[in-house]
Amino acid sequence: MFTMPKVIIASFAYIVGVFVLCAGLETSPTCSSIEGPTPGEFIIQRGIVPDNDSATTVSFRGCRISDIQPRAFHGLPSLQYIDLSRNSIKNLKLGILNDVTRLTHLNLSYNFISDLEESLFNQSSRLEVLDLRWNKIEVMKVGVFSPLKRLKYLDLSDNEIVGARLSPAMFDSCKALSTIDFSRNDMSGAPTDLLRAVEVLDTLKLDGCFLKQVPEFATRSNTGTMKKLLLSSNQVSTVKLTTFISLTNLEELDLSSNVISELYEDVFKPLKNLKIIILRSNRLEKIPDKLFYNMLRLRKVDLSFNSLMLIPVNAFRFTTIEMLNISHNKFTYLVDNFCLELRNSGVKLKKFYFNSNPWQCPCLRDLLKEMKTYRISYNNAKYDGKNAVCISGDIINTCLRQPDVNEHFNDLYYSD
Ligand X SMILES: *[C@@H]1O[C@H](CO)[C@@H](O)[C@H](O)[C@H]1NC(C)=O
* Interface with ligand X, residue 298, by CB under 6 A: no
Amino acid at site 336: D
Q: Taking the mean position of all CA atoms in its chain, how far away is CA 266? A: 25
Binds ligand X (CB under 6 A): choice among 43, 45, 47, 52: 52
Q: Where are the beta strands (DSSP E) in 137-219?
A: 139-140, 153-155, 179-181, 203-205
Binds ligand X (CB under 6 A): choice among 304, 329, 360, 406: 304
Binds ligand X (CB under 6 A): choice among 87, 124, 146, 357: 146
* Interface with ligand X, residue 306, by CB under 6 A: no
DSSP state of 153: E
* Interface with ligand X, residue 55, by CB under 6 A: yes
Residue 91: half-sphere exposure toward Cβ, Cα within 13 Å: 14
Contacts of 194 (CB under 8 A, 6+ apart): 163, 166, 168, 170, 171, 217
Among 50-58, 236-244, 257-265, 384-392, the segment contacting ligand X (CB under 6 A) = 50-58
* Interface with ligand X, residue 109, by CB under 6 A: yes
* Contact between residue 37 and residue 61 where contact means Cβ atoms under 8 Å apart: no
Residue 395 beta carbon to ligand X: minimum distance, rounded to whole angstroms: 30
* Interface with ligand X, residue 233, by CB under 6 A: no
Binds ligand X (CB under 6 A): choice among 45, 88, 119, 179: 119
Residue 403 beta carbon to ligand X: minimum distance, rounded to whole angstroms: 25
Q: Show the binding pattern over residues 260-279: x = contacts ligand X (CB under 6 A), - = does not.
A: ------------------x-
* Interface with ligand X, residue 178, by CB under 6 A: no
Widest CA span in the chain: 85
Residue 270 beta carbon to ligand X: minimum distance, rounded to whole angstroms: 22
Q: How many residues does the chain have?
A: 416
Residue 189 beta carbon to ligand X: minimum distance, rounded to whole angstroms: 26
* Interface with ligand X, residue 225, by CB under 6 A: no
- Angstrom CA distances, 297 to 62, 150, 271, 276, stand at 44, 32, 9, 9
Site for ligand X in 359-398 (CB under 6 A): 379
Q: Which is nearer to ligand X, 130 or 400 (CB)?
A: 130
Q: Which is nearer to ligand X, 232 or 406 (CB)?
A: 232
Distance CA 124, CA 262 (A): 47
Is 11 exposed, middle or buried (CB count within 10 Å of its CB: 0-12, 13-18, 19+)?
A: exposed
Distance CA 35, CA 19 (A): 13
Distance CA 120, CA 346 (A): 56
Q: How far apart are the first and last CA of the chain?
A: 55
Distance CA 74, CA 329 (A): 61
* Interface with ligand X, residue 258, by CB under 6 A: no
Among 34-42, 53-61, 195-203, 225-233, the segment contacting ligand X (CB under 6 A) = 53-61
For residue 369, count other CB atoms closer than 10 A to its CB: 12
# residues near ligand X by CB under 6 A: 25
Site for ligand X in 320-359 (CB under 6 A): 325, 327, 353
Among 34-42, 102-110, 202-210, 262-270, the segment contacting ligand X (CB under 6 A) = 102-110
Which residues lie near ligand X (CB under 6 A)? Answer: 25-26, 50, 52, 54-55, 61, 85-86, 107, 109-110, 119, 122, 129, 131, 143, 146, 278, 302, 304, 325, 327, 353, 379
